[in-house]
A and B are shown apart, each in its own frame.
Chain A
């Protein structure tokens, strides 16, 4: 380098969100180089929905319910998987330790991940919602805008949970197995397979504590003539995502043994 080290006074201070945008851009660029992952993210939910519409072809109304509520399952499930592996790589490759010596803060790093994968979740949700309503002819009286917003928040929740769970995995084998552990119970209890009011009391209580329940309830509310509990449901989803992000930030340690 031709110039000498810059004097300390010329360097800006490190603030809480330092590095958010550069990290988001970097994560997005990493994804852009991975064409197969992008193709899977774009196409997998639509293809699975198309399969479901065929499975229930002889039973009108079933796909309109189950296929619709799957719009609250796919974003969380897929973003959880992708994000937990991406963050695990950061932790195991040595780049996280290196980042600990740069101006990026924990909030900046996780915020960058949430921003980049949140944008991917939004694009995926938009594509899947369009495909379900427009191409597969899913028949629900909900406004597409609310459906999309629910799917995006659900995807961001998946990102936040993935970032958090990556802290508890040392290998990719462990990380992928967190998916059934974290996501399947939510899928079983969210009201998609069995309406929540028909569950045993204690199961209904557990269901009320799991965030995916509120994504399903938000979609149900969006389709209800009165709007139901839509506002509360979306607020709970957003709150759960923020809480998971804050917990994930607490798992990033600058100093290690």
Chain B
């Protein structure tokens, strides 16, 4: 299978000023993400998930290391037509209607109204197209944000905690959407701090303190740690200081 994302010895420091180095947030990460898979990026808050995703979409200044996405250096101009990024806080325009938001991002990708309508239907918001985005609930705004990323038909879709604040039914629907996208060839990378969502991923990356604790499948993680459920497997891994599946990563 092809590789969609290749990360080698990636390190990031944040909060640096002239004459002072920042604190390390990512500390020499190396991993790959196979194309057409759903990969879950898991870890407690503050573990560096958002920073890592920002590196992949090319908006994070890095200290060292190499990040290649779809065969190109992360942030390359050509990649901006081929990747979709959904930030943790919905980044959409509150003073536009739902449809106007999605049409704007469609137009940036050279797509028309039909593509915008399709993306809205895909996130179940066709009925709210004319509503002002600021008047929506947080979960609905998140789905508008997702539609704005889907509308460009990205080859790589990067989502930062997209299920936060969603009710269980919507969460299940969203994960089915990710699976469907992956079946069609899209590579989906989702961050989450909800462990039960990990079971829905083809692969897991477990991040803690800026280091990868695990890079393997959910089954493998359970087997290596001897734990019944993933929650327990994570706890064991964190207490042991990592190690499961590292040979898979190497």
Give chain A's interface residues, CB within 8 Å of chain B: 1-6, 8, 11-14, 18-19, 21-23, 25-26, 29-30, 33-34, 93-95, 97-104, 254-257
Q: B131 to nearest A CB, angstroms?
A: 12
- If the complex has contacts A1-B150, A101-B85, are A256 and B107 also in contact, measured as CB distance less than 8 A? no
Q: A97 to chain B: which residues have CB within 8 Å?
A: 59, 87, 91
Tell which of A22, A26, A97, A98 has the most Cβ of chain B within 10 Å.
Answer: A98
Q: Report if B226 contacts A (CB, 8 A).
A: no
Please report the total number of B residues contacting A with Cβ < 8 Å: 48
Find chain B residues with CB under 8 A from A2 CB. 118
- Is B96 an interface position by the 8 A CB rule? yes
Q: What separation, in Å, do the CA atoms of A101 and B84 have in the docked complex?
A: 7
In the docked arrangement, what's the CA distance between A157 and B123, Å? 41
A13→B14 contact, CB < 8 A:
no
Interface residues of B in 51-100 (CB under 8 A from A): 57-61, 70, 75, 77-78, 80-85, 87, 89, 91-93, 95-97, 100
Complex CA distance for A103 and B84, rounded to whole angstroms: 11
Closest-CB distance, B8 to chain A (whole angstroms): 18
Knowing A3-B153, A26-B104, A101-B83, the reply to whether A93 touches B91 (Cβ < 8 A) is: yes
Given contacts A102-B105, A256-B59, A256-B60, contact A4 B185 (CB under 8 A): yes
Q: How many A-B residue pairs have CB under 8 A?
A: 117
Which residues from chain B sit less than 8 Å from chain A, CB to CB?
A: 14-16, 22, 57-61, 70, 75, 77-78, 80-85, 87, 89, 91-93, 95-97, 100, 104-105, 107-110, 118-119, 122, 132, 148, 150, 152-155, 181, 184-186
A26 touches B96 (CB 8 A): yes
CB closest chain-B residue, reference A108: B108
Contact of A257 with B61 in the complex, beta carbons under 8 Å? yes
5 closest cross-chain pairs (CB), A and B = A22-B107, A94-B91, A4-B184, A101-B85, A98-B91
Bound Cα distance from A177 to B141, whole angstroms: 32
Smallest CB-CB separation from B106: which chain A residue? A22
Query: Is A95 a contact of B95 with CB atoms below 8 Å?
Result: no
Whether the pair B81, A254 counts as a contact (CB closer than 8 A) is no
Residue ID in chain B nearest A97 by CB atoms: B59
Q: Do the beta carbons of B91 and A102 come within 8 Å of each other?
A: no
Q: Is the CB of B89 within 8 A of A94?
A: yes
A255 B59 Cβ-Cβ under 8 A: yes
The reply to whether B108 and A102 form a contact with Cβ atoms under 8 Å apart is yes
In the assembled complex, the Cα of A1 lies from the Cα of B95 at a distance in Å of 26
- Give the distance in Å from the alpha carbon of A97 to the alpha carbon of B153 in the complex: 19
Q: A14 with B95: in contact, given A8-B155, A255-B59 (CB under 8 Å)? A: no
